């Protein structure tokens, strides 16, 4: 799971829908309410939680990083992006 802590103390959570794999890939749905919540608020911390052992790691974002998702939302709304491949 990924848990996003926003600057207004709300939390946004998403959970991987794929089964365990040795490559460490996690597939999550980024559309709808999750996308709307993340692109309208500053994110101050992101926590990754292992669903098997429940170990977790929390990353506190720098001030510059906190607006990343807002900037992504604006780029998509204004069609300022290019198609690419994740493996490139």
pLDDT in tens, 55-80: 899 999 999 999 999 999 999 899 88
- pTM value > 0.85: no
Q: Could you identify the residue written with the tokens 């001030």?
A: 63
End-to-end CA distance of the chain: 26
* pLDDT tens, residue order, the chain (88 aa): 889 999 999 998 887 776 766 666 676 777 777 888 889 999 999 999 887 788 899 999 999 999 999 999 999 899 887 778 877 5
Token duo for residue 26 = 């996690």
Please list, in sequence order, all residues whose beta carbon lies within 8 angstroms of the beta carbon of residue 43, skipping any fewer than 6 positions away: 4, 5, 6, 7, 61, 66, 68, 69
Token duo for residue 63 = 């001030």
Neighbours of 27 (CB within 10 A): 10
């Amino acid at each position: 799971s990924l848990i996003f802590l926003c600057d207004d103390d709300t939390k946004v959570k998403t959970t991987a829908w794929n089964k365990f794999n040795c490559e460490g890939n996690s597939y999550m749905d980024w559309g709808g309410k999750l996308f709307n919540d993340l692109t309208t608020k500053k994110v101050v911390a992101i926590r990754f939680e292992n669903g098997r052992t429940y170990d977790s790691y929390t990353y506190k974002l720098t001030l510059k990083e906190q607006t990343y998702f807002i900037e992504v939302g604006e780029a998509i709304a204004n069609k300022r992006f290019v198609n690419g491949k994740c493996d490139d």
